[in-house]
């Protein structure tokens, strides 16, 4: 497959017989996420950062059929994008310095959002889903007194979510309240970057940001952590929707 | 398998070791669509046009168990059926000039509808599903003020639907309104052809037509495009049904 | 596996390399039905009649893990059970003249009901599911004006159900009304036989009988026909439950 | 994999080519339970007791990806934990005398609860799920007149649940009432042990205890029995939630 990069051997970046190589792992994850309803109709995406390189699923491909040769690769930026890039080019995924860029595919508009998780949160994996439960929860919040944060308590599964970025703090406890910030959707996915970063600042311990009428971004130190946090959150959002149908409040009174 | 055609080697039209050959691809797609609930109980169907030939899944077979030898093949008609055929025979799938026609099977009553997508819209693939979400959406519309068109806005997934037949126009934007026309069901599937064609005329940019209490026809330039549009629409219809259960309007006010 | 029968080679009845042999086919079907939620927790069952022999899944086994050696075999009775057997033993599955009876397993209490479909309806396959949609539909009917028959109309999928036992009559049309009789559950499954047979008499064209708070029996001339009718009905019952949640009547007014 | 134990060959306890070896079986079961939504996001767990040894899935791993080398092994305690252990250490899974303990993994906090099923109920397998239906049922009960026991009757599937620990008593009958006790959740999973044991005493014939806002513990004589009871209960809880949405009471009046 034709690619553009300074490196003639850009395919070396993504071809490996190791199933845990990021390029293979993104394909396996996306095929699995398809079965969970997270990346229907080419929606959603996944990115892994490892050894100074960032591997990203392309835009507009059938996620369950993706191949390693479809993967884009970028060098890890030295610092957050708003410092590293010129004004007006901030977070522009079309002008990234790609180490590998498949010519027939478009880079993902999620790219600057994935980079925010990697540079500002030290994440090793970031998952973006269009799960219907995330969309429905943000729709239910829209007309509530507190539209910008999802809150639930006393559900065992919240113990699957880290309490903070301090690993010593462990995960949330059963009597803690899970809070997930919600940002408003924008016309272009890349324009979410600024409000995503603001939500990260305002909620320094969160591992996820919901996007109203759109989906969610979830990250973690590595693939296993990002995936299990994303699964636990999705379980909770689905449960929350069912609770609403049955008239059960999210916050125990 | 015995087939009738002017060509003694009609099986050459459908036997190939290439998984992307239309006859193989229809089988793979139908088995997948079965898992999505789109072709339960022999319902629904799929057709691919390639290199001047049209490949069609038969009627009444278990779609998840279909084999390439079950596929019907027709030559692409030179122009829309209403011009090419005699009055009274218009769109009659029983009298099509089949290049390959398995003797033990019945041609699909969807055939004239698939042909409408190919000849009038230049489609390369057309998918017909009985997805429950399509049926429920048409039922919800039936008693509404605007029963003949489904409309929704401000849902990220509508960005998976093309804005028009002008490829340069790209896909719908988040602030656009997705509109999908609805036609009334008829006793015989082939009798839907005229109203399907009218809906195509009235909504020249649509890639899909809902059929009340029945399902949907979705098409695209090629298999990937038809499938991902169909998936995105199905996601949106399912979401719309859940929104209705939760009292959330489809059109943001 | 030890079996009792007059035939020392009873395993010949169920061992075959042909995937379409009834003993293999029952296992494949049951594994598939498990994924559809039809035979959860050892519930439900399936039986095939072919060449004068009746093959039956055992009671109390995990249906998705069933092996051909688990299958019971009975000779096809010459006439309906109430004539062939002595009073008081009618339909007693424990005293059937088994051609093959695995010693470690219990014969299915569904046996006399399967036999009713074979002897009274000339069926070649009978499927019993505990699908939740069948149970919910019978619960919704329970408090209705017409608790003993499910009726729905103007849903395309009813065209997947035969109109009558006269094959020339074809399937139901879109404007026909699908009717499925409902019988009351009993303490013992085998005690359903009499009311199942009465429902067959009262609804001579039906291919299915719902059992209140329990499930459904569906039959057909062969496996493909029984399975596709069962799938179409299950689709319709699921749709009917969703219609009820959304306030949409089953009978168009 | 590094393990600590008095036995240098601790891996002999879990390495076997027999798919029915407990270490293999736990992995197969957990992968299957993942598809059922029972162990999402590392939640839930499974344990098998065989030949005097207890095999336990670890804490915090992706259950669908678990390998036999992840399994903990404990010797079966001679009597219930409250007698065998010093005060204050009762049921402490961190201080168990493990025969095999993978160094990189944490023992499951479910361990003392599994042990309660093994020592007090003679179980051979115990399953803990976070199924959403179990959580929703306990939430619906929370505000009811009888919050501490789930009761339902006249649903065929309750015949999949044993009537008592006396095997001669067989399973529940259709006209019996299924009762499943509910205990309150605690901050730490291991602190559930005392109330689980109390529920076992108060409901001596139960094979399951629901944990409010958390999930369920289900056990049985062996894997097949525990799994099929757990499936039947999950089917019933899901049905109960749907019945509530449709306004159908759990107890027939």
Residue A93: per-residue pLDDT: 74
Identify the pLDDT of residue B1: 46
B173 touches chain A (CB under 8 A): yes
pLDDT digit string (tens) for B81-105? 555 555 545 556 777 789 999 999 9
Nearest CA-CA partner of C109 in C30, C207, C33, C187: C187
d(CA C211, CA C217): 8
Is D140 in Cβ contact with A246 (below 8 Å)? yes
Series of mean pLDDT values for 10-residue runs along chain D (253 residues) = 57 96 98 98 96 95 97 83 52 79 94 95 97 98 97 97 90 97 95 96 97 98 97 98 98 80
For D80-114, how does the pLDDT look when each residue is reduced to its tens digit (9 = 90+)? 555 555 554 555 677 788 999 999 999 999 999 99
Q: Is D41 on the interface with A (CB under 8 A)?
A: yes
Subunit contact B139:C229, Cβ cutoff 8 A: no
d(CA C50, CA A83): 76
Position C234 scores a pLDDT of 98
Residues of A in contact with B246 (CB under 8 A): 136, 139-140, 241, 244-245
**C167: contact with B, CB 8 A cutoff:** no
- What region, left, alpha or beta, does residue C41 occupy, with left being phi > 0 and alpha being psi -120 to 50 degrees? left
Q: State the chains in contact with B (3 or more Cβ–Cβ pairs under 8 Å).
A: A, C
Residues in chain D closer than 8 A to C183 (CB atoms): none
Strand pairing report for A208-211 and A177-183: parallel
Closest residue to D235, CB basis, from C40, C186, C241: C40
* A contact chains, 3+ CB pairs < 8 A: B, D
Alpha helices in chain B (DSSP H): 22-35, 81-84, 111-121, 132-142, 193-202, 223-245
Contacts of C216 in chain D (CB under 8 A): none
Q: What is d(CA D39, CA D42) in angstroms, rounded to the nearest whole number?
A: 6
Q: Terminal CA-to-CA distance of chain B, rounded, Å? A: 58
pLDDT for res A227: 98
Answer for the pair D55, A172: CB distance below 8 angstroms, yes or no. no
Size of interface A-B (CB pairs under 8 A): 63
The pLDDT profile of chain B, 253 residues, written as one tens digit per residue, is 455 554 556 899 999 999 999 999 999 999 999 999 999 999 999 999 999 999 999 999 999 999 999 999 999 886 665 555 555 455 567 777 899 999 999 999 999 999 999 999 999 999 999 999 999 999 999 999 999 999 999 999 999 999 998 888 899 999 999 999 999 999 999 899 999 999 999 999 999 999 999 999 999 999 999 999 999 999 999 999 999 999 999 997 6
D11-20 pLDDT per residue, tens: 999 999 999 9
Helix (H, G, I), strand (E, B) or coil at A95: helix
pLDDT value at position A4?
Answer: 54
Q: Which residues contact B146 (CB under 8 A, 6 or more apart)?
A: none
Averaged pLDDT for residues C64-72: 97
Quick check: A1 pLDDT over 50? no
Measured in angstroms, the CA of D55 and the nearest CA of chain C are apart by 23
Determine contact: C185 vs chain D, CB below 8 A. Answer: yes
Cβ neighbours, 10 Å, residue B102: 23
C214, D156: Cβ pair inside 8 Å? yes
pLDDT tens for B54-76 read 999 999 999 999 999 999 999 98
Instruction: Please judge whether D185 and A232 are an interchain contact, meaning their C-beta atoms are less than 8 angstroms apart.
Output: no
Whether the CB-CB separation of D197 and D121 falls below 8 Å is answered with no
For D226, name the nearest residue in chain C, comparing CA atoms only: C41
Q: How confident is the model at residue A6 (pLDDT cuts 50, 70, 90)?
A: very low
- φ, ψ dihedrals at C129, nearest 5°: -120, 155
CB contact under 8 A, D41 and A238: no
> In this predicted structure, what is the pLDDT of residue A97?
84
Q: Does B249 touch chain C (CB under 8 A)?
A: no
Mutate to test the interface with A, among D42, D108, D137 (most CBs of A within 10 A): D42
Confidence of residue A90 (pLDDT cuts 50, 70, 90): low
> In the 3-class helix/strand/coil scheme, how is B104-162 assigned residue by residue?
CCECCCCHHHHHHHHHHHCCCEEEEECCHHHHHHHHHHHCCCCCCEEEEECCHHHHHCE
Which residues of A are catalytic, by number? 156
Active site residues of C: 156
Sequence-distant (≥ 6) Cβ neighbours of residue C196 within 8 angstroms: C113, C116, C183, C209, C217
Are D232 and C132 a contacting pair at CB < 8 A? no
Contacts of A228 in chain D (CB under 8 A): 41-42, 62
Q: Taking a C-beta distance cutoff of 8 angstroms, is the pair D176, D186 a contact?
A: no
Model confidence band, residue A7 (pLDDT cutoffs 50, 70, 90): low
Taking contacts as CB-CB distances below 8 angstroms, the residues of chain A near D62 are: 224, 227-228
Query: What's the pLDDT tens digit per position in B6-27?
Result: 455 689 999 999 999 999 999 9
Nearest to C91 by CA among C74, C66, C69, C103: C74
Q: What mean pLDDT is reported for chain A? A: 92
Asked if A67 has any chain B CB less than 8 Å from its own CB, the reply is no
**Beta-carbon separation of A139 and B229 below 8 A:** no
**Average pLDDT score over chain C:** 92
* CB-CB neighbours of A83 under 10 Å: 10
C95-147 tens-digit pLDDT: 778 999 999 999 999 999 999 999 999 999 999 999 999 999 999 999 999 99
Instruction: Say how far apart CA D42 and CA D65 lie, in whole Å.
Output: 10
Min Cα–Cα distance to chain A from D51, Å: 33
Q: Is C43 within 8 Å of D235 when comparing Cβ atoms?
A: yes
Looking at residues C5-10, what average pLDDT do you find? 60
pLDDT digits (tens, 9 = 90+) for A13-38: 999 999 999 999 999 999 999 999 99
- Nearest-CA residue of chain B relative to A41? B228
| ipTM surpassing 0.90 | yes
Phi then psi for residue D161, to 5 deg, are -110, 130
pTM here is: 0.95
Is the confidence at residue C80, as pLDDT, over 80? no
- Residues of B within 8 A of A131 (CB-CB) are none
């Amino acid at each position: 497959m034709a690619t553009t990069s300074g490196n003639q051997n850009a395919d070396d970046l993504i071809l490996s017989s190791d199933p845990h190589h990021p390029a293979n792992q993104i394909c396996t994850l996306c095929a699995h996420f398809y079965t969970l309803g997270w990346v229907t109709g080419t929606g959603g995406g996944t990115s892994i950062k490892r050894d100074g390189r960032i591997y990203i699923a392309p835009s507009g491909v059938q996620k369950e059929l993706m191949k390693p040769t479809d993967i884009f690769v970028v060098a890890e930026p030295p610092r957050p994008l708003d410092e590293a890039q010129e004004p007006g080019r901030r977070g522009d995924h079309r002008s990234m310095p790609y180490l590998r860029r498949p010519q027939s595919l478009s880079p993902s508009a999620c790219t600057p959002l994935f980079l925010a998780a990697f540079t500002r949160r030290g994440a090793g994996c970031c998952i973006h889903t269009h799960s219907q439960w995330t969309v429905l929860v943000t729709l239910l919040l829209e007309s509530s007194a507190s539209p910008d944060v999802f809150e639930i308590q006393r559900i065992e599964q919240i113990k699957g979510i880290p309490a903070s970025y301090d690993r010593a703090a462990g995960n949330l406890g059963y009597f803690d309240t899970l809070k997930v910030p919600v940002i408003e959707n924008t016309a272009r996915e890349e324009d979410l970057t600024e409000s995503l970063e603001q939500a990260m600042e305002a909620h320094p311990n969160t591992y996820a940001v919901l996007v109203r009428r759109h989906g969610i971004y979830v990250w973690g130190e590595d693939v296993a952590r990002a995936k299990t946090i994303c699964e636990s959150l999705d379980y909770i959002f689905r449960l929350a929707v069912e609770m609403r149908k049955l008239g059960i409040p999210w916050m125990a009174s």
